[in-house]
Structure 1
Amino acid sequence: MDYVKPNQVIESIATAGVNKSQLSISHILIKAMLAGALLGYATTLAFTGATQTGLDIVGALIFPTGFVMTLLLNLELVTGSFAVLPVARFRKKIPISSIAHNFTWAFIGNLAGSLIYAALYVITITYFGNIDESIMIQKLIAVAESKTLDYKAIGMDGMVVVFVKAMLCNFMVTLGVVMNATSTSTFGKIAAMWIPIFIFFAQGFEHAVVNMFVIPAGMMVGADVNLADWWVWNQIPVTIGNFVSGFLFVALALHVVTREKKEKV
């Protein structure tokens, strides 16, 4: 059997947090840029599947490909680290300064990789600016505007909505990171990770790194969204919401329950 029990899983997550805290800035940036690009690839593939079939659920089934590649290659996804590094801190394996260091450079790297992929992808779907109308262009515009302007239109209520959707999203994303450690086989890891990532994407929740690609890509092809719309009405509250849920619902919760189990044995 390749199943790993929860208490062992959380110990391995803590060890992974230690390893992440020891990475150099250059390694964090490179690994994070690759992760950002892979999630961009997965997003455009998901949109392709959804537009070709007319079924968004198809896109949700496809999207976890990027997450799976990211974790199997041990790359840096800041939203996943929102649970991994706090677990290491709870187990007194790393200082708080190491958490801030990793989060900062992973965020920058994810953003850079996402923007590079966005620019390259826009070149392909616009034929280097020679086409301004296609199904995929309209999809990117619609998604970018819905992720910003729809929240802006209802003011603070919209801010609450985007924050909650970000919390619901990263509960599943960080759970996907944990599920990766529940198996010692590659197939088992893929199957375990696929489930929570499918759940978040199928329901249209808000993921900071996905949005680092899809909103600027939409802006590049004509979405009526400016930088303030992107950061104020999505990127900043989504990043904070992603952190809160990863920290509370996964890192803290699983640390507590596995610690108590260990103490009772």
Structure 2
Amino acid sequence: MEKRFLTPAETIRAIVENGRRVLTQSRLRTVVLSFLSGVYIAFGAELATVVTQDAAGFVGQGIARLLSGSVFSLGLMLVVVCGAELFTGNTLLSGSALQGEISWGKVLENWLIVILGNLVGSLFIAWLMFESRLWSSGNMVDHSLRIAVVKCQLPFGVALVRGILCNWLVCLAVFMATAARDVAGKFLACYGPIMAFVASGFEHSVANMYFIPTGLLLSGELGRNEPGLTWGNFFMANLLPVTIGNILGGVVFVASAYWYVHLKGEGRRERPEG
């Protein structure tokens, strides 16, 4: 009888071995998969914005956040089941480097390509949604601007800590999805942690590549001068600290922790060049 799921030791080993794909996968393939991942996360972010545009007034702030996290989880479900390269999930490549399966140079190369591909994919969906004019109905404009402004006004340290907490949960979702052996199990593995990080108000770098540019596009179109909402603040006040936090959350608290518990001391392969 086939196992319904992998043990934690088997899961981190599968994640580490899967990291070897960066040794043979072409850069162009990585670019395409990264673009798609940015698109998928943006779909989740867009859906969360639509669903919660007026929900708090009817069901309260807490339930509205629960709804937001519930529908946003679609993004990681698409990434996991359809296959794509997501920067936050790829912080788990650090486990492969710790085990000597790939070099740290390959990890950094992958991260750079993937985060740029994620950015392009997210911006593409933000632009398409802007051009769709679907934001012109309901409370979409005010809600989208409010999300973007709040994110751009976060202090650096606050954004960094929220980034750590976010990717701790995201990488646990990827960890559990790897352990699951069927699609239903992978869906459930994605849902819980992603719902939790969104409902809690944590910060995800790739999601913010949709949320904040959407606010910037709308503010420019409507001539609304929102405090702190600039492209400079998007990159330096939000994306930079959140990305650093996401790296720390995934590398330290998931990849390194489970590598240390289950794989440290096992025989290593010769460290590859690159």
**TM norm. shorter chain > 0.5:** yes
- 1:74 lines up with 2:83 in the alignment: yes
Task: Write the distance in 2 (CA, Å) between the matches of 1:234 and 1:97.
Answer: 26
**Uncovered stretches (5+) of structure 2, i.e. residues with no partner:** 57-63, 268-274
8 Å contact kept, 2:148–2:212: yes
- 1:90 aligned to which of 89, 98, 103: 98
In structure 2, do the counterparts of structure 1 residues 228 and 187 end up closer, same or farther at CA, with 3 Å as the change threshold? same
Which deviations, in whole Å up to 9, do the C-alpha atoms of 1:124-143 show, x marking residues without a partner?
1368xxx5x74111111100
Instruction: Kindly provide the amino acid, as one letter, of the partner of residue 246 in structure 2.
Output: N
Instruction: Kindly provide the amino acid, as one letter, of the partner of residue 86 in structure 1.
Output: S
- 1:120 lines up with 2:128 in the alignment: yes
- 2:163 aligned to which of 156, 163, 166: 166
**What secondary structure, in the 3-state scheme, does the structure 1 residue paired with 2:101 have?**
coil
- 1:57 CA displacement: 1.5
Q: Which residue of 2 aligns with 1:101?
A: 109
How many residues align? The count is 251
Q: Which residue of 1 aligns with 2:13?
A: 11
Task: Write the distance in 2 (CA, Å) between the matches of 1:87 and 1:207.
Answer: 21
* TM-score, structure 2 as length reference: 0.87
- 1:63 aligned to which of 46, 57, 72: 72
- 2:183 aligned to which of 174, 182, 186: 186
Q: Which residue of 2 aligns with 1:34?
A: 36
Q: Which residue of 2 aligns with 1:243?
A: 247
- 1:139 aligned to which of 131, 136, 143: 143
In structure 2, do the counterparts of structure 1 residues 52 and 8 end up closer, same or farther at CA, with 3 Å as the change threshold? same
**Uncovered stretches (5+) of structure 1, i.e. residues with no partner:** 152-157
Task: Write the distance in 1 (CA, Å) between the matches of 2:49 and 2:88.
Answer: 21
Instruction: Kindly provide the amino acid, as one letter, of the partner of residue 193 in structure 1.
Output: C
Which deviations, in whole Å up to 9, do the C-alpha atoms of 1:7-66 show, x marking residues without a partner?
110111011211134321111111111110111111111122222533232111111111
Task: Write the distance in 1 (CA, Å) between the matches of 2:22 and 2:82.
Answer: 13
- 1:208 CA displacement: 0.4
Query: What is the 5 A alignment of 1:189-228?
Result: 189-222=186-219, 224=226, 225-228=229-232
- 1:232 CA displacement: 1.3
Q: CA RMSD in A?
A: 1.8
Task: Write the distance in 2 (CA, Å) between the matches of 1:262 and 1:231.
Answer: 40
**What secondary structure, in the 3-state scheme, does the structure 2 residue paired with 1:172 have?**
helix
**What secondary structure, in the 3-state scheme, does the structure 2 residue paired with 1:205 have?**
coil
Which deviations, in whole Å up to 9, do the C-alpha atoms of 1:182-226 show, x marking residues without a partner?
111111111122111111111111000001111011100006311
Instruction: Kindly provide the amino acid, as one letter, of the partner of residue 49 in structure 1.
Output: V
Identical pairs, percent? 27
**What secondary structure, in the 3-state scheme, does the structure 1 residue paired with 2:37 have?**
helix
Which deviations, in whole Å up to 9, do the C-alpha atoms of 1:115-162 show, x marking residues without a partner?
0100000111368xxx5x74111111100000012x2xxxxxx11111
Task: Write the distance in 1 (CA, Å) between the matches of 2:177 and 2:22.
Answer: 16
8 Å contact kept, 2:174–2:189: no
8 Å contact kept, 2:169–2:194: yes
Task: Write the distance in 1 (CA, Å) between the matches of 2:23 and 2:193.
Answer: 25
Q: Which residue of 2 aligns with 1:257?
A: 261
Instruction: Kindly provide the amino acid, as one letter, of the partner of residue 96 in structure 2.
Output: A
Q: Which residue of 2 aligns with 1:154?
A: none
Instruction: Kindly provide the amino acid, as one letter, of the partner of residue 184 in structure 1.
Output: R
**What secondary structure, in the 3-state scheme, does the structure 2 residue paired with 1:181 have?**
helix
